[in-house]
Amino acid sequence: MAIAKKRADVDRRYDKDALYTPVDAVDLVKTLAYAKFDDSIAGVVQLGIDPRQADQIVRGTVSLPHGTGKDVRIAVFANDQLKDAEEAGADIVGGQDLADEIAGGRDLDWDVTIATPDMMPIVGKLGQVLGPRGLMPNPKSGTVTKDVAATVQAFKAGRVEYRNDRYGNVHVPIGRVSFEPDKLIDNFAEIAVEIRRARPASSKGKYIQRIAVSSTMGPGIKIDTVAVEDLLKSRV
């Protein structure tokens, strides 16, 4: 009941229909956050794509200049690079043994899975387990790689994966409520640049249709897409 009252109070403090600049939207998200913990902030971008078409899938990775504020746990499948992976900061490493543990019901207590190409025949058999959790390595997201150590370090430093959902939306973390506004804007701008770059050639019409940002427990604050373009131009 207390949470419902807080949410009702929050809803009275902003205009649900207004389009804000990225800077104003970030400030508002921080102001309206009411969780007692350091809540995550994410952006949602609605794209003008047909998610049913394989050539219109939008996915990849983007390195956030200030990270996400989250301690990312990484699992690595490899043969001769296991030591390198551990030294780079991987939390879980293994080969066939790790695959057997997962097939046997092991908890999927990590955020990113990285694999060397030679391990994919083994990892591929775990698709029904890893896929629904978004943990399946994929070359397009850079998680199938010959350089495991560098990839582990990149994800630990703030690289995040993104992929459109079945409605054509892309959800990407941009930081936490405790971040300074300028750091959230830096991360937001990096994401906007990357998603614009990833536009499929077959996508027709307006590509970036709507953008919103919110904390996990807070309301979605709509952002003016024209103001986003102005922000990106100011950073060239």
What is the pLDDT of the chain when averaged over all its residues?
93
pLDDT at position 1: 45
Q: What is the pLDDT of residue 192?
A: 95
Summarised one tens digit per residue, pLDDT across range 37-84 is 899 999 999 999 999 999 999 999 999 999 999 999 999 999 989 999
User: What pLDDT is attached to residue 217?
Assistant: 86
Confidence class of residue 234 from pLDDT cuts 50, 70 and 90? confident
Residue 236: which pLDDT band, with cuts at 50, 70 and 90?
Answer: low
Domains annotated for the chain, with CATH where assigned, are 15-68+160-233 (3.30.190.20), 74-157 (3.40.50.790)
Pairing of strands 40-47, 208-215: antiparallel
Residue 3 has pLDDT above 80, yes or no: no
For 229, phi then psi, to 5°, come to: -60, -40
